[in-house]
């Protein structure tokens, strides 16, 4: 095992200001794994802050001087200003202060460092590289900026290699002294820091020269500026790209909705066809960088091919959020003109009727510097919605607004574009989206919520429409059958869902001319429920209850005892369908293929044996007797697995752990 030690002599307690950010939070998790004491603060709660707290960190919501109690070193991100009260207090108390990149570099520079830099594609390339080293048994430590599916954003390995995504935005990538450096591309980005194109190029040259003298630089040779930087760096370098002058070349690139593929050549020699589950030519290029890295690490191309075929992508990188009622919804982090054009090109490889884009500009300085390029980036869209600029802690710049960008876009051969406030977007989309559309939500700010909200709203609308049609048909047949009691609410964790769907049933039955009585049940005691139903004097029941005492045979037994007819299965079939352990057993006996499963009944279970039986992470954890999505966790490592089981046990009864 790696020795815990300390990053700086004598320091055991690190305090992270802005710990909820992706890079900061994952570095804090890494420090916890290495045995340090960690505290941190942020302005709001998030999945990362909760995860840190559960793993032993002391996390505070809100910035206050009292949060520094016991801190021996303060770590901050580029989003934190000198006026932050914790920063101000740390200076006053002479507590050592480190930028996030400084601390990360201290860790990376002790190992065989593999850094990934570039204006675009860093997170995906870093994730691919991490997966490669993990699968190859090199047991790397990793620090990646995005959310990936295998639990290796920030993981402490026992091997010598450290894979890190490094940030060029504030020049902090110059702290690193890697053995292998990948530079994906260079672009007119972060002008708030660099001011000019020449300074950007100078910074990348210095970064290339940070590679240790006997190290290797891997650059996209299609970029003439990068090729020139590599030539001037004084380091051995390897090029990759689509152009024939590169050491590693991708030819015959194929892209569709399922992913991408290409034929790989190394110095003119055929290597093989590589197939990816992630779409887009840009992802083919990202993977080619990792193929070149594999060669330098003495990892064979066939192994690299098999590993890259397993790669499932990164959250917010052309992430499909769902397809509902013929509308596909995709979320993407793209916030620079180059990224936007690449993402729209990928979207156009998917056979859809229209491409509808929602875009939230990110930072006033970026919008000002690249307004003309932004205006030209959306020509492939059919319709577009523009919303307010996400400031990312910047102050507004006079004249730099989404309305100004809208005018620029309309001057181009651009799609039909409108401006909407963020809270107006979902309602507008529900009115205008139609079957066959691809909705693409773009931006690095909080616009990602729109994709989730649209999917949820489309699902709810579809369910209401299906329910309306179903109930209207039942209503026509039931007009002469007396009073229909719609049973809803209940006491399960899905009470609010039941109330909404129950009201939809009531509305549909009333519109069909039926006599309807809404009944909100607030007890699961059969005696209370029987007394309530007898008092309501209903002739039929429509069960709109969810979860326990709605889908598990409980209410069905009561209705049978009272002789009241109802919709759906009887008590026995309901119990079998609701209990996932029992229903899976029935499926197995009938010869239906089911996932490998381990059933546990307490916190004390053999984690190692369970993981071995199910073929490794990730694993799905779910309570046996709840709704299909209630209490479900996708666990990528042991802490997440234990946490998921503990959460599922709170619902009572058995817990299923299944292969993913």
386 DSSP β-pair partners: 359, 419
Write out the two tokens for 14. Answer: 């690190």
The pLDDT-based confidence of 320 (bands split at 50, 70, 90) is confident
- pLDDT over threshold 50, residue 4: no
Please give the average per-residue pLDDT across 565-577, as a whole number: 88
Question: How does DSSP classify residue 93?
Answer: T
Which segments of 180-273 does DSSP mark as H helices, in order?
Answer: 191-194, 197-210, 224-233
Per-residue confidence band for 78, with pLDDT thresholds at 50, 70 and 90: confident
With a CB cutoff of 8 Å and minimum separation 6, the contacts of 513 are 475, 479
Q: How far apart are CA 621 and CA 519, in angstroms?
A: 34
Of 29-33, 68-72, 113-117, 460-464, the one with minimum mean pLDDT is: 460-464
Q: Which of 166-180, 305-319, 641-655 has the lowest mean pLDDT?
A: 305-319
Answer whether 632's CB lies under 8 Å from 658's CB.
no
**Distance between CA atoms of 439 and 328, rounded to whole angstroms?**
6
Query: What is residue 359's predicted lDDT score, i.e. its pLDDT?
Result: 94
Q: What is the pLDDT of residue 407?
A: 87
Band of the pLDDT at 591, cuts 50, 70, 90? confident
State the pLDDT confidence band at 225, using cuts at 50, 70 and 90. Answer: very high
Interatomic CA distance for residues 641 and 632, integer angstroms? 11
Q: Where are the alpha helices (DSSP H) in 46-138?
A: 47-54, 85-92, 100-108, 122-135
Residue 112's H or E segment, with its range, is: strand 112-117
- Given a cut of 70, is residue 2 above it in pLDDT? no
Which residue carries 């009073």 as its tokens?
A: 483
Helix (DSSP H) and strand (DSSP E) numbers for the chain: 23, 28
Query: Which range among 70-84, 230-244, 315-329, 357-371 shows the weakest confidence by mean pLDDT?
Result: 315-329
Residue 107: CB atoms within 10 Å: 19
Residue 477 has pLDDT above 60, yes or no: no
Q: What mean pLDDT do residues 339-346 have?
A: 83
Confidence of residue 146 (pLDDT cuts 50, 70, 90): very low
**pLDDT per residue over 603-626, tens digit each?**
888 888 898 889 888 899 999 887
Q: Quick check: 242 pLDDT over 60?
A: yes
Cα three-residue angle 318-255-316, rounded to 5 degrees? 5
CA distance 75 to 95: 10
> Is the pLDDT assigned to residue 7 strictly greater than 60?
no
Enumerate domains of the chain plus CATH numbers. 13-99 (3.40.50.720), 109-310 (3.40.1190.10), 319-456 (3.90.190.20), 479-577 (3.40.50.20), 595-659 (3.30.1490.20)
120: how many CB neighbours lie within 10 A of its CB?
22
pLDDT at 178: 96
Confidence band, pLDDT 50/70/90 cuts, at residue 48: confident
Average confidence (pLDDT) over 202-226: 95
The SS3 call for residue 349 is coil
Evaluate the CA torsion angle 224, 228, 231, 237 in order and state its sign: negative
Q: HEC string of 169-206?
A: CCCHHHHCCCCEEEECCCCCCCHHHHCCHHHHHHHHHH
State the maximum Cα–Cα separation within the chain, in Å, rounded to a whole number.
89
* pLDDT for residue 349 is more than 90: no
For 257-301, what is each residue's pLDDT tens digit? Answer: 678 899 999 999 999 999 998 888 889 999 999 999 999 999 999
Mean predicted confidence (pLDDT) in 36-44: 92
Tens-place pLDDT, residues 295-318: 999 999 999 998 898 887 665 677
State residue 347's pLDDT score: 83
pLDDT of residue 488 exceeding 60: yes
What is the b/e burial string over 134-157, where b = at least 16 CB atoms within 10 angstroms of the residue's CB? bbbebebbbbbbbbbbbbbbbbbb
Binned at pLDDT 50, 70 and 90, residue 55 comes out as confident
- Average pLDDT for 560-571: 92
Q: What is the pLDDT of residue 604?
A: 85
The pLDDT value recorded for residue 148 is 42
Mean of pLDDT over the chain: 87
Q: Are 301 and 294 in contact (CB under 8 A)?
A: yes
pTM assigned to the model: 0.58
- How high is the pLDDT of residue 5? 40
Alpha carbons 641 and 550: distance in angstroms, whole number: 29
Q: Which of 284, 261, 279 is nearest to 328 (CA)?
A: 279
659 three-class SS = strand
d(CA 171, CA 632): 41
User: How far, CA to CA in Å, does 106 sit from each of 198, 355, 370, 613, 658?
Assistant: 28, 45, 34, 38, 39
Residue tagged 């290495």 (tokens): 34
Active-site residues, by number, are 122-123, 165
Q: How far apart are CA 173 and CA 79, in angstroms?
A: 16
Least confident of 153-167, 457-471, 541-555: 457-471
Which run of H or E residues covers position 320?
strand 319-324
If you search the block for the tokens 């055991």, which residue do you land on? 12
Q: What percent of the chain has pLDDT over 70?
A: 93
pLDDT at 42 over 60: yes
CA–CA separation, 416 and 354 (whole Å): 12
Nearest-10 Cα torsion for 315, 316, 322, 327: -160
Question: How far apart are the C-alpha atoms of 476 and 480, rounded to whole Å?
Answer: 9
pLDDT at 327: 92
Q: Could you tell me if 468 and 425 are in contact, meaning their C-beta atoms sit under 8 angstroms apart?
A: no
- Euclidean distance between CA atoms 636 and 624, whole angstroms: 20
Q: What is the pLDDT of residue 151?
A: 44
Confidence of residue 375 (pLDDT cuts 50, 70, 90): confident
Check pLDDT > 90 for residue 217: yes
Spatial contact of 343 and 358, defined as CB atoms under 8 Å apart: no
Question: In whole angstroms, how far apart are CA 390 and each of 169, 361, 396, 496?
Answer: 17, 6, 10, 33
Query: Where does residue 77 rank: exposed (0-12), middle (13-18), buried (19+ CB within 10 A)?
Result: buried
Tell me the pLDDT band of 150, cut-offs 50, 70 and 90: very low
Per residue, the 3-state secondary structure of 530-589, as one string, reads HHHHHHHCCCEEEECCCCCCCCCCHHHHHHHHHCCCECCCCHHHHHHHHCHHHHHHHHHH
């Amino acid at each position: 095992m790696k020795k815990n030690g300390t990053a700086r002599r004598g320091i055991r307690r690190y305090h992270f200001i802005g710990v909820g950010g992706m890079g900061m939070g994952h570095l804090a998790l890494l420090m916890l794994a290495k045995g340090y004491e960690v505290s941190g603060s942020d302005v709001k709660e998030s999945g990362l802050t909760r995860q840190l707290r559960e793993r032993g960190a002391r996390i505070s919501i809100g910035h206050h001087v009292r949060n520094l109690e016991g801190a021996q070193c303060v770590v901050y991100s580029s989003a934190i200003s000198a006026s932050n009260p914790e920063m101000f207090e740390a200076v006053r108390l002479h507590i050592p202060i480190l930028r996030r990149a400084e601390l990360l570099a201290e860790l990376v520079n002790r190992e065989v460092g593999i850094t990934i830099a570039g204006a675009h594609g860093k997170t995906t390339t870093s994730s691919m590289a991490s997966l490669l080293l993990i699968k190859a048994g090199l047991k790397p430590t990793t620090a990646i900026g995005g959310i990936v599916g295998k639990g290796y954003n920030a993981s402490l390995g026992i091997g010598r290699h450290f894979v890190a995504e490094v940030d060029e935005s504030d020049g902090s990538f110059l702290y690193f002294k890697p053995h292998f450096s990948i530079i994906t591309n260079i672009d007119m980005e972060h002008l708030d820091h660099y001011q000019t194109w020449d300074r950007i190029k100078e910074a990348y040259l210095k970064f290339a020269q940070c590679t240790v003298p006997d190290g290797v630089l891997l650059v996209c040779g299609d970029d003439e500026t990068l090729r020139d930087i590599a030539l001037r760096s004084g380091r051995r370098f390897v090029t990759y790209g689509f152009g024939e002058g590169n050491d590693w070349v991708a030819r015959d690139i194929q892209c569709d909705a399922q992913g991408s593929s290409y034929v790989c050549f190394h110095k003119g020699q055929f290597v093989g066809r590589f197939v990816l589950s992630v779409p887009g030519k840009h992802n083919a290029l990202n993977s080619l960088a990792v193929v070149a890295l594999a060669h330098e690490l003495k990892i064979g191309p066939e192994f690299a091919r098999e590993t890259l075929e397993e790669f499932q992508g990164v959250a917010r990188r052309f992430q499909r959020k769902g397809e509902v009622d013929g509308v596909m919804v995709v979320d993407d982090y793209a916030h620079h003109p180059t990224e936007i054009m690449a993402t729209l090109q990928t979207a156009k490889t998917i056979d859809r009727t229209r491409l509808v884009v929602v875009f939230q500009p990110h930072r006033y300085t970026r919008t000002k510097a690249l307004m003309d390029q932004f205006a030209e980036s959306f020509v492939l869209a059919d319709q577009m919605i523009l919303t307010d600029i996400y400031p990312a802690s910047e102050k507004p710049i006079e004249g730099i607004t989404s309305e100004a960008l809208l005018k620029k876009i309309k001057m181009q051969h651009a799609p039909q574009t409108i401006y909407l406030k963020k809270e107006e977007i979902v309602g507008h989309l529900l009115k205008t989206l139609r079957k066959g559309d691809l909705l693409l939500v773009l931006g690095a700010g909080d616009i990602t919520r729109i994709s989730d909200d649209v999917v949820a709203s489309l699902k709810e609308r579809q369910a209401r429409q299906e329910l309306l049609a179903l109930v209207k048909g039942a209503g026509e047949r039931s007009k002469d059958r007396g009073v229909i009691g719609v049973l809803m609410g209940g006491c399960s964790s899905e009470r609010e869902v039941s109330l909404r769907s129950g009201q939809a049933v009531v509305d549909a039955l009333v519109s069909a001319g039926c006599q309807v009585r809404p009944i909100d049940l607030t007890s699961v005691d059969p005696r209370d429920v029987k007394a309530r139903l007898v008092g309501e004097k209903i002739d039929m029941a429509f069960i709109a209850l969810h979860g326990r005492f709605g889908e598990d045979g409980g209410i069905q037994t009561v209705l049978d005892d009272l002789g009241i007819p109802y919709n759906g299965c009887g008590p026995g079939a309901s119990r079998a369908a609701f209990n996932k352990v029992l229903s899976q057993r029935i499926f197995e006996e009938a010869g239906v293929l089911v996932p490998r499963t381990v059933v546990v009944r307490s916190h004390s279970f053999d984690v190692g044996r369970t993981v071995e039986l199910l073929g490794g992470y990730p694993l799905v954890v779910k309570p046996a007797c709840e709704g299909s999505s209630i209490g479900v966790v996708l666990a990528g490592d042991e802490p997440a697995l234990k946490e998921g089981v503990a959460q599922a046990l709170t619902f009572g009864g058995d817990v299923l752990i299944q292969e993913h």
